[in-house]
Homo-oligomer: A and B are copies of this chain.
Amino acid sequence: MTPASEEKETGRTEAFSDGVFAIAITLLVLELKVPHLSGAVTAGSLARALADQWPSYTSFVISFFTILIMWVNHHAMFGLIRRINLPFLYANGFLLLVVTFIPYPTAVLATYLETPAAPVAGAFFAGTYVLLGVAYNLLWHAAIRGKGLLRRDVTPEIVDACTRRFRLGPPLYLVATAASFVSVFLAVGICAALAIFWAFTGRLI
């Protein structure tokens, strides 16, 4: 392939991934259901019903920013990529699989947050992020192991910094998963703290 067609190929994979991110982030609103009032329909009962949905709103906002931050990081990684190969393509596919899955454990968490089943829901939620961390590491390793995938101006120092940064994900999310059995709010708090970390370091790549 010529350099021009390689760049086109990489651009298309990125555009396809962007589409998946955009759709996944927009589908989140489908988890919000119009409340069905069981008793009398009054202003007060609707206000209470809307307020009682706070776990759903919270999970909507968390999922939204999580997927947004993943998109920013995905973009930053593609900024280092010059061309792609089949292993990179399927590693990217695995990452997208986990991204599109995110709304599901978030909905499970929102449903069971205030029940005795909360520790399991929280561990399922945080455990998905372990998988996400693994997916980012697989993608990054496909990028650095493949021949000529990185741009020429990506120095070994940048590669090492990225490798160290991505390696943090899986063990820290495993800690969050275990922490859910102590307190589901601790688990969610660790995930939120990590989200902020990824959010403000992603563009440093």
A191 vs B118: C-alpha distance when bound (angstroms): 38
Interface size on A (CB < 8 Å)? 63
Task: Identify whether the interface residues of A are mostly helix, strand, loop, or mixed.
Answer: helix
Decide yes or no whether A86 CB sits under 8 A from chain B.
yes
Q: Are B50 and A120 in contact (CB under 8 A)?
A: yes
Decide yes or no whether A198 CB sits under 8 A from chain B.
no
- Knowing A42-B116, A46-B120, A86-B200, the reply to whether A23 touches B19 (Cβ < 8 A) is yes
Complex A-B, nearest 4 residue pairs according to Cβ-Cβ distance, in ascending order: A19-B22, A46-B117, A23-B26, A68-B93
- Beyond contacts A28-B100, A34-B108, A60-B101: 13 other A-B pairs, Cβ-Cβ < 8 A, are A16-B18, A19-B23, A20-B22, A20-B25, A22-B23, A24-B26, A41-B116, A42-B117, A50-B120, A64-B97, A68-B93, A72-B89, A90-B199
